[in-house]
Every structure is written in C-alpha cells, then in structure tokens.
C-alpha cells in the first residue's frame, strides 16, 4: 500500500498561510504598517488604489534591511523577534508573524526596495507568487518601500469574494486609524487614488483624535486616567449627548495594540447607564497598559482578540474609571425645579426672523358631531413622521384582522392576510354580530400601545410600528417618481470627518432621490432641501441619524441601496420610545399599521405586536 500523506510544496503552504493572514487588502495594510513601526520608522506613508485591489504600498524611513535580510524576509517563519517559545508571551512588537510577508508574496506581485542608513546602495526584490524574479542593487532612500500589486491574482476565487472598492477602502481606513490612534508620535499619511485622505503630523493623542474626527471633537472629549496594580487606563471618552447609533468610534488598545472585547464594551456602556438612550453607543478611546505575561495575544489569527488573566477585575476598573471621569467633569443629568418653563423660548438661528403665529381653522368641524374623527393635528408627533394627508383607514380592519386569531400566538403573515380577506367577505349581518365596540388605546411607559380586541388585547411597539409604516411609504414614493421635497429658507451645514466622506459620496445621490437636496463641499454637507415629511424636524439631526443607521444597515443587512436608504430614513424619522402620544395619535398609528404590508414585523425583522388572549390571562390567575 502506497503512502497517502505527502509534504505540501512551499507555494501551496504559503497560499494556505495567506488565507489566515491576508483576508483582504486591509490585512496587507496592517501587516506592512506594523512592520514599519517595528523597524523604528518616524514617518510612514500608505498608498492604495482601487480599494487596495490594484495597489497597496507602504513607505517608511525605518532601519531598512541588508540584501541578505531582505531575501530572508520572504521565507516562511523567518523573523527577527522570536528566538524561543517563551518570547511569544513577552512581545512588545507588532509584526512578529514570520509568515506574513511570505503569505502576501504567495498571492500577489510584491516589489520591495530597502536600504539601511549606513549603506550606499539598497536592494530591490521582485517576488511573484512566492517566486523571486529578481534581486538587484538600487538607489533608494533610507528605510523600506513595499508595493503589493494585483492581490489574489492567482487565487481568483478569493478575489471574487472581495467587496466593492468603496467597501475595501473603508476597511483600509479602519485599519489605518487603528494604528494612527495608538501611535500619535509617528507622522503618518494616507493617499487613495492620488487623493490625500490623511496627513497626520507627529502630535499628542488629543490632537490626533481631533485632527482625524474634526475640531468639533475637542469639546466632546473627557479624559480618563486610572492606575492600579493590575492595569493602567488612559485615554478619552465622549460626553453622553454625542452618543452614536454605531460603535465605529469605539477603540480599545492594550500595550499599543488594538483589540476588540464585548465584555469590556459592556463595562463602558454600564458606566453610561442612565445618561444615554437605549441603542446608542458612546465613542471612546481607551488605552490599557498591562504586564505582557498577563495577556495572551495568540488566541486569534488577526490578533484582534486578547485573553486577559484578570478580566473580571479589569471590567470593574474600566466601569469605575469611566464613571469617575464622567462625574469629575460634571457630566450628569440635572433637574432645576425652580426654573419657570414657560420662559424657555428657543433662540433664533442665524438669519432667522420671528414668525407670526398662524391660526388654523378646520372648516369641517361640527360641534354637534358625536363621533370623533381620528386625525392628528399637523404639529403632532405622528404627522411629523408622514401620516398627514394619507388615506383614511377603516378602524374595523385591524379588529377583524385579529378576530379569528389563534389563542396561543400570532399566525404567519400569509395566513392572516387570507383570514383578513375571508373576514371582509362575511355578510353584513354576521359583521354586526362580531363587531366589538372600539375602545381608546392606552400608552404604557410611553413606549407601547395597548389596545383591546374581542378575545384579549394587543401590545404594539410604537417605534417599530412607525418604522414599518414609514418604510412602506418611502419605498412606495422612491419606487415611483421620488419623494416630494421642501426648500429650506436658509441652507444648513453638517461637518463630517474624513472617514465619512467616501460613505457620504455614495449616499448623497440616493438621498437626493429620496427628497433631499444635498451637496458635498469638502468636509461639509450643505442642506438645500428636505423631504416634505421632515420639514418640521431638525434636518441636521435627522441626516446624522440617517447616516448612522445607513452604516449600521450596510454592515448587518443584505439590503439593496433603495431599501437601505428607506430603512435608514424610517428609523431616523420614527417616533422613539419615551414619546407621549395622544389618543388620536395612537388610534391613527394602530390603524395605519394594520393597513401596511406586514404589520407583524418591522423593517428590521423584529416583532411589532404581541397578542394576549383571554385564555392566557385567565391561566395566569389560576
């Protein structure tokens, strides 16, 4: 019998290793920049084209390599930072993965130029698919330049799984910022498709954060400083009022290395308890300094997950340090019981004049009419979301919809639609027997709407319900001829940071079709018009919410652009939990929900309605 176990050729072994090290162009960026930092570089320039597909190049002024070291760097498991296994737990460097450059060269065309500071000539090595094509002396500046071209040229299946250029570009920006934020003492720049994205001089940590995220961030930062025998924590958290809908500005670093940790994320969120709304996340930049023996960085191939010996104690220290920082700078909710609220007149915006109150008269009002119509006023929370002007909804529709519901739970949407059709075709005499006297709905905790049905009652999540209604309306409007817009009397502006420019470029054309009129001017979004449904809301705040929801939807859902825009707008425009509603608004919201395409599920795929039957209630009292 012949042997079946064979030794893999080096080029195949390198491609397998590449699958662990190089997942996308951002992985190449991480490896090359970290190697440049370990080489003692004080200036690093990152150059990328087409989201890194065509080119990723890192140029540094570090120590450089000799011709022999340059060639050895392409060999598997070749490194200058590990001599024995114990060194794995005493690492103070970053790019210690010996197979990194070999793995990159296995699936790309690599050109490396390097020169030590005391040498007259450097060396140039061209490597294509793990094969060294040439090595020659060359005139080159001190340091190292590595250009990685045509990533995955020999692994087309891997190349096909890459995202769009804009997606890969955002991943590169994320990786660049993770390194730039932990090394403010290094001058760093980033160019993409010949455009300068970042030019960060050597500076302090606060100045680097402000330069990356804009001058507006300077007033938002709250310093954190805590030192114990276990850990030293420094950095900044952001004031609660600037919490975001995503975690894209939440950073943990340990011993100058970025890492992710849900457990520690919860510690920070716990410190903000009572200060921020549910579903919001405060940006933070926290730096941990711990003994190298107390952590294990080798639990994940990308080194973004780290195991701590004292994780429970560190959790408590993080929570205490953040809470103390927020308290020390008097960031806490306050109530003034002596303040006269009737004098709280909002200040006028620049260029805005005093508006004369308008008197609105309802010509159809009949003081002798006994049946009250459910039609919220124009200034109500519901009409601001876009219900005014829509067709009337028959109140009996939603009751009949649930007349025959099973006692245990809601039936599937298809069954309910069929049931609804059957109920609507029942003779008028039978309808008279089944019809229930409608009662006013009740709001619970300013978040849920409780309304009775014949065999029990329903609980409706008002935010999810409004999202469903708005989403259906927006999809209908966008799919036809676009959304009607309203010009602003004075244009408004939103300042954005450089990390958001690319996303806004993709988003603005779709938002303009959805009723906005926006213009990107460098790092500012100029608002000329908004959808009619938003004319009574704060367009700046709404647009920021739409943008944050859009980024979150892009990461979580496989929605097309139109659906993602509609979902983002609906989430931003919908009434939030905690909003007090009138009885008319609750009735109208309930009626509109059951006239929508899918009353049971929100556009996010979450349950809107919970049914409680008489039988279930009776069992609870037995």
Strand-pairing partners, residue 513, are none
Residue with tokens 């490896």: 31
At 267 the pLDDT is 94
Residue 604 DSSP class: T
Residue with tokens 């090359």: 32
At 408 the pLDDT is 38
Prediction pTM value: 0.67
Tokens of residue 465, six digits: 């319900």
Residue 214, C-beta contacts closer than 8 angstroms, at least 6 positions apart: 495, 496, 497, 523
Please give the Cα distance from 85 to 82 (Å, whole number).
8
| CA-to-CA separations, 128 to 74, 156, 193, 382, 571, in angstroms, rounded | 11, 15, 23, 62, 49
| Domains of the chain, earliest start first | 10-203 (3.30.565.10), 207-328 (3.30.230.10), 374-622 (3.30.1540.20)
* Residue whose C-alpha is closest to residue 94's, from 37, 23, 18: 37
Strand pairing class (43-49; 187-192): parallel
In DSSP notation, 102-122 reads HHHHHTSEEEEEEE-TT-S-E
Tokens of residue 417, six digits: 């639609």
At 384 the pLDDT is 43
- Sign of the alpha-carbon dihedral angle for 224, 227, 230, 232: positive
In DSSP notation, 366-387 reads -TT--SPP----TTSHHHHHT-
Mean pLDDT by 10 residues, the chain (622 residues): 68 59 88 91 95 94 92 73 53 54 88 94 91 92 94 85 86 93 95 90 93 87 93 94 85 91 92 85 93 74 77 93 86 47 53 69 68 47 47 51 43 43 40 47 89 86 91 81 80 83 84 87 88 73 80 64 79 82 87 88 88 87 82
Residue 405, C-beta contacts closer than 8 angstroms, at least 6 positions apart: 411, 416, 453, 455, 611, 613
Give the Cα-Cα-Cα angle 206, 212, 216 (nearest 5 degrees): 70
Helix, strand and coil content of the chain, in percent to the nearest 5, comes to 40, 20, 40
Helix (H) or strand (E) segment spanning residue 466: helix 462-480
Helix (H) or strand (E) segment spanning residue 187: strand 187-192
Residue 234, C-beta contacts closer than 8 angstroms, at least 6 positions apart: 223, 224, 225, 226, 286, 287, 289
User: What are the two backbone dihedrals, phi and then psi, of residue 346, each rounded to the nearest 5 degrees?
Assistant: -65, 145
In DSSP notation, 14-38 reads HHHHHHHH-SSHHHHHHHHHHHHHH
């Amino acid at each position: 019998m012949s042997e079946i176990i064979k030794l893999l050729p080096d080029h195949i072994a390198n491609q397998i290793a590449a699958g662990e090290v190089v997942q996308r162009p951002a992985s190449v960026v991480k490896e090359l920049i970290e190697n440049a930092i370990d080489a003692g570089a004080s200036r690093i320039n990152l150059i990328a084209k087409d989201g890194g597909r065509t080119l990723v190049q890192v140029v540094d002024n570090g120590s450089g390599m000799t011709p022999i070291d340059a060639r050895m760097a392409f060999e598997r498991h070749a490194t200058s930072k590990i001599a024995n296994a114990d060194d794995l737990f005493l690492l103070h460097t970053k790019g210690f993965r010996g197979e990194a450059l070999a793995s990159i060269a296995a699936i790309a065309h690599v050109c490396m130029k390097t020169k030590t500071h005391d040498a007259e000539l450097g060396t140039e090595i061209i490597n294509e698919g793990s094969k060294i094509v040439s090595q020659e002396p060359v005139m080159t500046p001190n340091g190292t330049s590595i250009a990685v071209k045509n990533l995955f040229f020999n692994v087309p299946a891997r190349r096909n799984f890459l995202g769009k250029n804009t997606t890969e570009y955002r991943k590169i920006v994320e990786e660049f910022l993770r390194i730039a934020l932990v090394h403010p003492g290094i001058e760093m720049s980033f160019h993409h498709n010949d455009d300068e994205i970042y030019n960060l001089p050597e500076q302090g940590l606060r100045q680097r954060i402000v330069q990356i995220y804009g001058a507006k961030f300077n007033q938002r930062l709250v310093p954190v400083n805590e030192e114990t025998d276990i850990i030293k924590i420094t950095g900044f958290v952001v004031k609660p009022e600037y919490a975001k809908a995503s975690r894209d500005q939440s950073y943990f670093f340990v011993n100058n290395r970025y890492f992710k940790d849900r457990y520690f994320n919860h510690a920070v969120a716990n410190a903000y308890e009572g200060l921020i709304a549910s579903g919001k996340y405060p940006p933070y930049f926290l730096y941990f300094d711990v003994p190298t023996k107390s952590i294990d960085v080798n639990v994940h191939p990308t080194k973004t997950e780290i195991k701590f010996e004292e994780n429970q104690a560190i959790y408590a220290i993080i929570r205490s340090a953040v809470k103390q920082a927020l308290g020390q700078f008097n960031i806490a909710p306050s109530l003034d019981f002596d303040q006269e609220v009737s004098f709280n007149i909002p200040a006028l915006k620049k260029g805005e004049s005093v508006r004369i109150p308008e008197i609105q008269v309802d010509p159809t009002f009949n003081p002798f009419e006994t049946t009250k119509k459910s039609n919220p006023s124009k200034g109500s929370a519901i009409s601001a979301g876009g219900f005014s002007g829509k067709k009337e909804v028959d109140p009996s529709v939603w009751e009949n919809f649930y007349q025959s519901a099973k006692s245990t739970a809601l039936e599937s949407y298809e069954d309910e639609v069929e049931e609804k059709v059957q109920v609507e075709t029942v003779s008028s005499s039978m309808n008279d027997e089944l019809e229930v006297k409608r009662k006013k709905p009740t709001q619970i905790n300013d978040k849920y709407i409780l309304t009775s049905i014949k065999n029990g009652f329903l609980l409706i999540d008002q935010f999810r319900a409004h999202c469903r209604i708005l989403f259906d309306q927006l999809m209908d409007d966008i799919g036809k001829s676009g959304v009607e817009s309203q010009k602003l009397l004075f244009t408004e502006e939103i300042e954005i940071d450089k990390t958001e420019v690319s996303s806004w470029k993709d988003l603005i054309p779709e938002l303009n079709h959805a009723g906005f009129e926006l213009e990107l001017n460098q790092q500012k979004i100029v608002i000329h018009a908004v959808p009619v449904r938003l004319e009574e809301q704060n367009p700046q705040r709404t647009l920021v919410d739409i943008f944050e929801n859009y980024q979150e939807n892009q990461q979580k859902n496989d929605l097309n652009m139109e659906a993602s825009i509609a979902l983002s707008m609906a989430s931003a425009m919908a009434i939030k939990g905690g909003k007090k509603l009138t009885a008319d608004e609750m009735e109208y919201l309930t009626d509109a929900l059951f006239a929508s395409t899918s009353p049971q599920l929100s556009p996010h795929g979450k349950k809107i309605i919970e049914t409680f039957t008489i039988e279930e209630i009776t069992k609870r009292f037995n």
